[in-house]
Chains A and B, each alone.
Chain A
Amino acid sequence: MQPVQKSSLLFLLAVGLLAGACKKDEQNVDPTDDNEAITTATLSLTNTASATDVVTGTIENLNTSATFTNATLNLKANTTYNGSITLLDKTKTPTVDATEEIREKTNEHLFVYMYMPTGTTTSTMSVTLTDRDTNPAPGPYPVGLTTRMQTGATAGSGSMHVVLRHQPNSKDGTATPGSSDLDTSFPVVIK
Chain B
Amino acid sequence: MPIHRFAYTLLFVTVSLLPLTVLGQATCTGALTGRITGQDNGQPLPGASVYVRERQTGAITDTVGVFRISPLCPGTYTLTIEYIGYKTLTIPATVGADSLTTLATIRLVPDNHTLQEVVVTEHRSEAQKLLQVQAGLSGNALNATRGQSLGESLKTLPGLYSIQTGPSISKPVIHGLYSNRIITLNNGVRQEDQQWGTEHAPQIDPFLATRITVIKGAAGIRYGSDAIGGVILIEPAAMPTAIGLGGELNLVGATNGRQQTASGLIEQALGGPLKGLSWRVQGTLKKVGYARTPDYFLENSSYRETNYSAGLNYTRQNVGVDLFYSQFATRIGLFRGAQVGSLSDFYAAIARTEPLRQPGFSYALDRPYQDVQHDLFRLRAFVRSDRWGTLTATVARQQNVRQEYDLLSFSRSTDPELYLKLVTHTADLVWEHAPVPTKNGGRWTGSAGFSGITQGNVRRFLFLIPNFRNYGAGLFAIERYARGRWTVEGGLRYDYRWLRAYFRDEVTDRVTNQTRDWQNVMGSLGATVQLTPELALTGTFSTAWRAPNVSDLYSDGLHQSAVAYERGNPNLNPEYAYNTNLNVEYNRNRLRVDLGLYNNRINNYIYLKPDSVPIVRQRGAFPAYTYNQVLATFRGVDATIQYKLLPRLTLVSKTSLLFAYDHTNNDYLVYIPPNRTDNGLRYDFIGTDGSASRRVSGLYVSANVLYVARQNRAPAVSERQENGQLIFTGDFAPPPPAYTLVGAEAGMRWQVAGHPLSIILTGSNLLNRAYRDYLDRFRYFADEPGRNIMLKLRMPLGQRKS
Contacts and interface: CB of A to CB of B under 8 A. Distances in A.
Q: On chain B, which size bracket covers the interface?
A: 35 or more
Contact of B461 (A33, A62, A169): A33
Contact of A183 (B408, B412, B619): B619
A29 interface: yes
B506 interface: yes
Nearest to B422: A26
A16 to B, nearest CB: 10
A25 B456 contact: yes
Contacts of A25: 421, 456, 458, 467
Nearest to A39: B618
The CB with the most chain A CB atoms within 10 A, among B411, B417, B458, B469, is that of: B411
A105 interface: yes
A35 B415 CA distance: 7
Given A4-B383, A182-B618, A31 B509 contact: yes
B588 to A, nearest CB: 49
Contact of A11 (B314, B316, B381, B503): B381
Nearest to B510: A29
B561 to A, nearest CB: 12
Nearest to B458: A25
Given A15-B427, A27-B511, A22 B454 contact: yes
B503 A29 contact: yes
Contacts of A19: 425
Interface string A1-32: 00110111011001100110111111111111
A130 interface: no
Nearest to A179: B341
Interface string B457-475: 1111111001111000000
B506 A31 contact: yes
Given A35-B461, A62-B618, A66-B616, A181 B395 contact: no
The 5 closest A-B pairs by CB, nearest first: A183-B620, A179-B341, A180-B341, A29-B504, A26-B467
A12 to B, nearest CB: 10
B651 interface: no
B505 to A, nearest CB: 9
A109 B616 CA distance: 22
The contact size tier of chain A is 35 or more
A30 B415 contact: no
B502 A166 contact: no
Contact of B409 (A26, A163, A166): A166
B413 interface: yes
A63 B617 contact: yes
A53 interface: no
Contact of A177 (B356, B383, B411, B427): B356
A166 B423 CA distance: 37
11 contacts: A3-B319, A10-B321, A18-B425, A24-B469, A28-B458, A28-B511, A32-B504, A35-B406, A35-B417, A176-B356, A180-B345
B342 interface: yes
Nearest to A17: B397
Given A25-B458, A26-B468, A180-B619, A35 B348 contact: no
B341 A27 contact: no
B648 interface: no
B467 A35 contact: no
A110 to B, nearest CB: 11
B379 A14 contact: yes
Contacts of B415: 33, 35
B515 interface: no
Contacts of A34: 417, 461-462
Nearest to A102: B410
Interface string A168-182: 111000001101111
B345 A18 contact: no
B383 to A, nearest CB: 6
A109 B408 CA distance: 12
A10 B319 CA distance: 13
Nearest to B359: A169
A59 to B, nearest CB: 10
Contacts of A36: 408-411, 413
A7 B618 contact: no
A71 interface: no
B76 interface: no
A97 B417 CA distance: 19
B4 interface: no
A26 B502 contact: yes
A11 B393 contact: yes
A108 to B, nearest CB: 8
Interface in A150-191: 163-164, 166, 168-170, 176-177, 179-184
A27 B509 contact: no
Contact of B463 (A27, A32, A177, A184): A32
B339 interface: yes
Given A4-B319, A14-B379, A18-B425, A169 B357 contact: yes
Interface in A76-130: 96, 98, 101-102, 104-105, 108-109
Given A7-B381, A14-B395, A26-B456, A183 B341 contact: yes
Q: Considering residues A4, A28, A36, A163, which has the most beta carbons from chain B within 10 angstroms of its beta carbon? A: A36
